[in-house]
Amino acid sequence: MTRIIDGNEIADRITADLEPCLETLADAGTTPGLATVLMSDDGASETYVSMKRQACNELGIESIHHELDPDAPADALFDRIDELNGDPAVHGILVQLPLPDHVDRQAVLERIDPRKDVDGFHPENVGRLVTGTPRFKPCTPHGIQKLLEAEGVETEGADVVVVGRSNIVGKPMANLLVQKSDTGNATVTVCHSRTDDLAAKTRDADVVVAAAGVPELIDGSMLSPGTTVIDVGVNRVDADTEKGYELVGDVEFESAAEKADAITPVPGGVGPLTITMLLYNTIKAASLQAD
């Protein structure tokens, strides 16, 4: 029988473990603060930010929200980041991606104080991750490590195929999994849109992490029995529903579940862990800044 991994349950357990850290900070007079910045009227981005804010409020992290008109000049965003960098009540800064085309995304990420970069996207933090001395692990790959750990999926010596090479998921995921660590020591293959024979790679995998942003790219015919399947995709596809769309992963769930040993659903798999690890990083940022 395939195990359907309950991301909400695992996320709730990790979130509960964060409460003592918050109490320690409160005793020292610190309430962690996370600033979210939204420069987009994309519905999905609005939803993600509001879920992050709600999670902060529920745990007792101060949520400070800023919205900029998507047509505003890039300098308006840089100025806002400068203000947040200098605000001692703000311990973490998250600029929701994607940004409008006229804004240089890399310049934005580099403008954030690396000590407040709870996404872990600043080059200083990317460099720390790659060299095995992470400060903030990017939230989605870190959450996937926690999922695998909670499910007892051994990464040491495992063949892990990461499908997707984004800076947000694919690349940091691969980096975390190859590190010498209890949740690393894997043999990692990174596949992408130019990979020659994707199915040949995924069929050889013990673990597949699907993060390509392509609806139902991976189906059961591309998997060997016993694989652990982690689906990072959250794709809105047109459907005859109240909202006019439905959420579909990068994995074709029904056929993949027939082959997989364990599989994450969409929604309710990886997503809750991403939010939990953002809370974790915000608390870590506040602790580092209190030292």
Residue list, annotated binding site:
164-166, 234
Beta bridge partners, 179, equal none
Asked whether position 95 contacts ligand GUN by CB under 6 A, the answer is: yes
Asked whether position 119 contacts ligand GUN by CB under 6 A, the answer is: yes
Q: What are phi and psi of 33, to 5 degrees?
A: -125, 130
Interacting residues of 2 by C-beta distance below 8 A, sequence separation 6+: 257, 258, 260, 261, 262, 263
Asked whether position 282 contacts ligand GUN by CB under 6 A, the answer is: no
22-27 long-range contacts, CB within 8 A, separation 24+: 22/59, 22/60, 22/61, 22/283, 25/283, 25/286, 25/287, 25/290
Nearest to ligand GUN of 139, 248 (CB atom): 139
Comparing C-alpha atoms, which of 94, 109, 29, 82 is closest to residue 289?
29
Asked whether position 275 contacts ligand GUN by CB under 6 A, the answer is: no
Asked whether position 38 contacts ligand GUN by CB under 6 A, the answer is: no
CB closest to ligand GUN, residue no? 97
Which of 77, 81, 84, 139 binds ligand GUN (CB under 6 A)? It is 139
Asked whether position 97 contacts ligand GUN by CB under 6 A, the answer is: yes
Nearest to ligand GUN of 97, 178 (CB atom): 97
- For the bound state, the minimum distance from the C-beta of residue 168 to ligand GUN, rounded and expressed in Å, comes to 5
Which residues belong to the annotated binding site for NADP(+)? 164-166, 234
Cβ atoms of 10 and 150 within 8 Å: the answer is yes
Beta strands in 117-270 (DSSP E): 159-163, 187-191, 207-210, 228-231, 235-238, 245-248, 262-263
Token duo for residue 286: 């506040």
Token duo for residue 141: 């790959």
Asked whether position 44 contacts ligand GUN by CB under 6 A, the answer is: no
Asked whether position 96 contacts ligand GUN by CB under 6 A, the answer is: yes
Nearest to ligand GUN of 136, 257 (CB atom): 136
Asked whether position 140 contacts ligand GUN by CB under 6 A, the answer is: yes
Token duo for residue 74: 């890039």
The CA-atom distances, in angstroms, between 269 and each of 62, 169, 227 are: 26, 15, 16
Report the catalytic residues.
Answer: 52, 96, 119
Binding mask 214-253 for ligand GUN (x = CB under 6 A): ----------------------------------------
Cβ atoms of 137 and 277 within 8 Å: the answer is yes
- For the bound state, the minimum distance from the C-beta of residue 156 to ligand GUN, rounded and expressed in Å, comes to 27
Asked whether position 168 contacts ligand GUN by CB under 6 A, the answer is: yes
Nearest to ligand GUN of 35, 263 (CB atom): 35
- For the bound state, the minimum distance from the C-beta of residue 152 to ligand GUN, rounded and expressed in Å, comes to 26
Q: Say whether 83 sits in a helix, a strand or coil.
A: helix
Q: Which stretch binds ligand GUN (CB under 6 A): 22-30, 91-99, 171-179, 258-266?
A: 91-99
* Binding residues for ligand GUN (CB under 6 A): 94-97, 119, 139-140, 168
